[in-house]
Amino acid sequence: LRNLLKPDQFPYQSKTGWTYDSGDYETTMRKAMDMIGYDALRAEQKQKRERGELMGIGMSFFTEAVGAGPRKDMDILGLGMADGCELRVHPTGKAVVRLSVQTQGQGHETTFAQIVAEELGIPPDDIEVVHGDTDQTPFGLGTYGSRSTPVSGGAAALVARKVRDKAKIIASGMLEVSVADLEWEKGSFHVKGDPSASVTIQDIAMRAHGAGDLPEGIEGGLDAQVCYNPENLTYPYGAYFCVVEVDPGTAVVKVRRFLAVDDCGTRINPMIIEGQVHGGIVDGIGMALMEMIAFDEEGNCLGGSLMDYLIPTAMEVPHLETGYTVTPSPHHPIGAKGIGESATVGSPPAVVNAVVDALAPFGVRHADMPLTPSRVWEAMQGRPRPPI
């Protein structure tokens, strides 16, 4: 806790040149300690060690630079990292949003519909999300590195605000007041001091497509496009705890508990976030305990199929516990930071630290992944195998 940055130190310029956007690390860490019951676990561990049982408690605290996007800092083959987004509201009040990122199971259709819905007051079910089709979508740099929500999500919010700005001008003509006399309340504009004098985004969409006159200089239609070039990367972070038990006879490691407390800034869809975290934790458990590309003396791969390459199943994964704190990114349009890779960053060291902690009575202070039973056994005998 002494070494964690304090909230008033952000934005924080690291010695390696990165500018961490925001954080409240101590709050996240203390929440994780409370949720896992840290003091009680240490007391239990002491009793188990007195009986010769091997129990370990490991933790990791991480932050990750995600949302690859500032053109000034990053490019691919000379193309700066920025994402485009197009939004069109139909006369019916329904909308279509087009983005360059491609979903791989993360739930982009839901997330981006929710972002636009929040900005325009249109029900998410009335928003069609078109993505990953280069014949129909604007240019962008794709889905990877937890950049979908930080970059394309930012673009979706900004394009919706651009549409809302045009809608406000049209609404001023419909209500016969100046733009400055209008207030936005989710889904409609009303005259300041008179909420009864209002028009909905659906009313405005009809007017924009020809159901009446438009203010001078305003073209028909209710659409916009943007290319979002982020000001900076975003920095999600988290505190993870893992509790393991090691069989002293077989050296098999059992993950008994795993807790992840993440801070990904503004949370758009908690269920999707939890799904991302669950998948990353299981991936991390596999990396820490099982997954290894091994070769025989003739260079043949010994793990070329799922018959030989071990990955966790439901039998090896405990009930996963999750929590969160919320520290929005100050430069992102909606404060979101991204979550896709967080658990794959934080979970392997938490598992390894737990195993090393369990083996402390044997003088073990370091271990290399994957911590297979043979490697754990050799570490217990004082002759750790070198990494492959």
Element (H, E) at 133: none
Whole-number average pLDDT of the chain: 93
Is 31 contained in some domain? yes
Residue scoring higher pLDDT (344 or 106):
344
pLDDT band at 81 (very low <50, low <70, confident <90, very high): confident
Residue scoring higher pLDDT (109 or 69):
109
Of 46-60, 68-82, 109-123, 355-369, the range with the lowest mean pLDDT is 68-82
Q: What is the pLDDT of residue 103?
A: 86
pLDDT band at 102 (very low <50, low <70, confident <90, very high): confident
Domain identity same for 218 and 102: yes
Q: What is the pLDDT of residue 382?
A: 86
Q: What is the pLDDT of residue 70?
A: 73
**Can you give the CATH number for the domain in which 171 is found?**
3.30.365.10
How large is the average pLDDT for residues 373-382? 93
Q: Are 335 and 325 in contact (CB under 8 A)?
A: no
Domain identity same for 105 and 44: no
The listed range with the strongest mean pLDDT (12-26, 68-82, 128-142) is 12-26
**Percent of the chain scoring above 70 in pLDDT:** 96
Of the residues 201, 228, 255, the one at which a domain ends = 228
Domain identity same for 135 and 237: no
Is 2 contained in some domain? no
How large is the average pLDDT for residues 185-205? 94
* pLDDT > 50? residue 195: yes
Q: In whole angstroms, give the CA distance from residue 279 to residue 164.
A: 36
Q: What is the pLDDT of residue 6?
A: 97
Is 364 contained in some domain? yes
How large is the average pLDDT for residues 224-248? 96
Burial (0-12, 13-18, 19+ Cβ within 10 Å), 142 = middle
* pLDDT > 90? residue 12: yes
Domain identity same for 219 and 93: yes
Is 198 contained in some domain? yes
**CB-facing half-sphere around the CA of 52: CA atoms within 13 A:** 2
φ/ψ of residue 244, rounded to 5: -125, 160
Domain identity same for 144 and 244: no
Burial (0-12, 13-18, 19+ Cβ within 10 Å), 364 = middle
Is 155 contained in some domain? yes
Of the residues 209, 228, 247, the one at which a domain ends = 228
Sign of the torsion angle spanned by Cα atoms 21, 23, 25, 28: negative
Our measurement of the distance from residue 363's CA atom to the centroid of its chain's CA atoms, rounded to an integer in Å, reads: 37
Q: In whole angstroms, give the CA distance from residue 182 to residue 327.
A: 31
pLDDT band at 205 (very low <50, low <70, confident <90, very high): very high
* pLDDT > 60? residue 90: yes
Q: What is the pLDDT of residue 142?
A: 80
> What token pair was written down for 123?
């029900």
Burial (0-12, 13-18, 19+ Cβ within 10 Å), 133 = exposed
pLDDT band at 145 (very low <50, low <70, confident <90, very high): confident
Q: What is the pLDDT of residue 225?
A: 96
pLDDT band at 76 (very low <50, low <70, confident <90, very high): low
* pLDDT > 90? residue 222: yes
Q: What is the pLDDT of residue 60?
A: 98
Q: What is the pLDDT of residue 387?
A: 52
* pLDDT > 80? residue 383: no
pLDDT band at 140 (very low <50, low <70, confident <90, very high): confident
Domain identity same for 243 and 347: yes
Is 388 contained in some domain? no
> What token pair was written down for 17?
């040149």
Closest CA to 238 of 108, 24, 61: 61
How large is the average pLDDT for residues 216-226? 94
φ/ψ of residue 325, rounded to 5: -125, 165
**Percent of the chain scoring above 90 in pLDDT:** 82
- Angle of CA points 103, 107, 109, to nearest 5°: 80
| Domain around 220 | 75-228
Is 313 contained in some domain? yes
Q: What is the pTM of this model?
A: 0.92
Q: What is the pLDDT of residue 123?
A: 96
Listing DSSP states for 306-337 in one string gives: TTTS----TTT---EEEEE-----TTSTT-B-
Domain identity same for 61 and 162: no
Q: In whole angstroms, give the CA distance from residue 11 to residue 141.
A: 26
Long-range contacts of 46-49 (CB under 8 A, 24+ apart): 49/361
Residue scoring higher pLDDT (76 or 17):
17
Of 139-148, 165-174, 295-304, 337-346, the range with the lowest mean pLDDT is 139-148
* pLDDT > 60? residue 385: no
Is 242 contained in some domain? yes
Per the structure, the count of domains in the chain is 2
Residue scoring higher pLDDT (212 or 46):
46
Of the residues 177, 206, 228, the one at which a domain ends = 228
* pLDDT > 70? residue 135: yes
- Residues paired with residue 54 on neighbouring β-strands, in sequence order: 246
pLDDT tens digit sequence for 287-309: 999 999 889 999 999 989 988 89
How large is the average pLDDT for residues 92-121? 94
Domain identity same for 81 and 177: yes
pLDDT tens digit sequence for 27-47: 999 999 999 999 999 999 999
φ/ψ of residue 112, rounded to 5: -70, -35
Our measurement of the distance from residue 282's CA atom to the centroid of its chain's CA atoms, rounded to an integer in Å, reads: 16
Q: In whole angstroms, give the CA distance from residue 139 to residue 313.
A: 39
Q: What is the pLDDT of residue 388?
A: 47
Domain identity same for 350 and 247: yes
Domain identity same for 161 and 279: no
Domain identity same for 180 and 297: no
Domain identity same for 136 and 42: no
